[in-house]
Chain A
């Protein structure tokens, strides 16, 4: 073979340039438009073209909704998972937990806080999908249960922001029992006439949907959020046909009567404040 025809470099390198672009621009999964990252951040990570809601994680919602760090008390920050079953599949559960903590900087898949929203006291539990798929194990169930108890004892309204693949398989039946525990706590909260607002974000499925997430006095959802009990793949296998367009999306649940309202992220705070105020809660006197 002639020398001129041989490739002198083994690999064509183009990754460096792409990385730079991705830092500045994000491609919208909804409409495939490229959005300038700063613009996206200014718009609460919602695509200005098609209103696709990008995930913002638990801290994103805390920043978006609450009155600032002075008003926020994190509840049970040190409550974390243990490997009760000495679980090992392809990976050990302990390794998965350590990896999740390292990746996300979070200690668990939920943060629970007592805080104020436009001066109204609130107890808020925010899940984070990036921590083992936002799955609910014993620690998540216990943190949410204690948050509900805290809201009941202080007569504060309670809200949850869900994003979860469901119960955490690595804790077997113990994770299943968290569905019963959180629902039992909501039953007590309900008997004490507490207001519970459940906010569903993309995705909310499985055991979280089949417990507290579907028990809101008012249930709100972000546009386009995937919400369901069974996974789409399992349903497809069961019925042996493709699923209809928009199946298990927030708009589908609204149509079927399982969601009260779909709320754009920019309106989430004002919606919550209006609901809390309408149902008779009062602003705290001494908060900034």
Chain B
């Protein structure tokens, strides 16, 4: 059970508390209220299912940011039989906001890249709140090229509110680092599977987000800019983030309609953090299934299909 409850989840928690107090009352007074309790619990389960299925876009954004939500390393540690982290971009530094390394998932070798947020203030400072610097993208690039050399497929876990907008990041070429990744990933000769496990904003997400399959967990979002960022530009008011989330259509179902997301991966009722094991198992299954589809393709065919995939994206008239 989550310790941290989001504002909009409170009505459900109240119902839960009511069941608890009914149980206590029954016990204290020695009355058999098991029928009432069962009824209430059934009602709660239905209400919760309904509630979490119909979250607004802005509520999903908040779920994606839930402090107890599993992060990249939680997935990697649970999914891999073998994992060995590789550090550094060989130019400047090792970015803690992007982890990378070799591992096996269900017996399959993979190069794994993950945008890593922290838990708690200290850890978050260490991870720079999951906002990568250029060296993070360059580390990812180095590892992807290593993977291609040895025909190892790439898994990329996306979870960032954006690339870090800092002085050093600009000095070291944040834009160039992202652009280079887009170009190299588009023709990398091994399968690339992308999973959005939390947030996915702007070039910061796309810089490790070009591939053959893109899956989004149910309570995640993906767009050109964060709802707050867009609100402060388009409405000149960051507090209009809810409106911006709707206007930009940032939810997984929207991304499926746009042709960007292949499939929405279901989460346990109440979000991935309520039952991380189940969420991780779902993600693992999706990875292995898509690998089976992609492994049979010749490298040229794989790249041709990937380019065709991006070629189609967008809407215009002529």
Contacts and interface: CB of A to CB of B under 8 A. Distances in A.
Interface of A: 76, 78-82, 84-85, 87-90, 137-139, 141-142, 145, 167-169, 171-181, 183-188, 190-191, 206-207, 209-215, 228-231, 234-235, 238-239, 243-244, 247-248, 256-258
Nearest to B186: A184
B217 interface: no
B206 A81 contact: no
Given A214-B179, A238-B166, A180 B186 contact: yes
Contact of A177 (B248, B254, B313, B318): B313
Nearest to A84: B315
Interface in B224-253: 224-225, 229-230, 233-235, 243-244, 247-250
Given A87-B247, A88-B247, 15 more contacts: A89-B243, A139-B314, A172-B254, A173-B250, A173-B255, A175-B224, A180-B186, A183-B186, A184-B183, A184-B186, A214-B176, A214-B179, A229-B178, A230-B174, A238-B166
Given A180-B206, A188-B307, A230 B225 contact: no
Cβ-closest 7 pairs across A and B: A138-B314, A230-B165, A184-B186, A183-B182, A209-B175, A89-B234, A84-B315
Contacts of A85: 247-249
Contacts of A139: 314, 316
B171 A256 contact: yes
Interface residues of B, number: 55
Interface residues of B, dominant DSSP: helix
B314 to A, nearest CB: 3
Contacts of B183: 183-184, 186-187, 190, 215
A167 B225 CA distance: 9
Contacts of B164: 238
Contacts of B184: 187
Interface in B77-104: none
B167 to A, nearest CB: 6
B233 to A, nearest CB: 7
B310 A180 contact: yes
A268 to B, nearest CB: 22
Contact of A229 (B182, B203, B225, B311): B203
A191 B179 contact: no
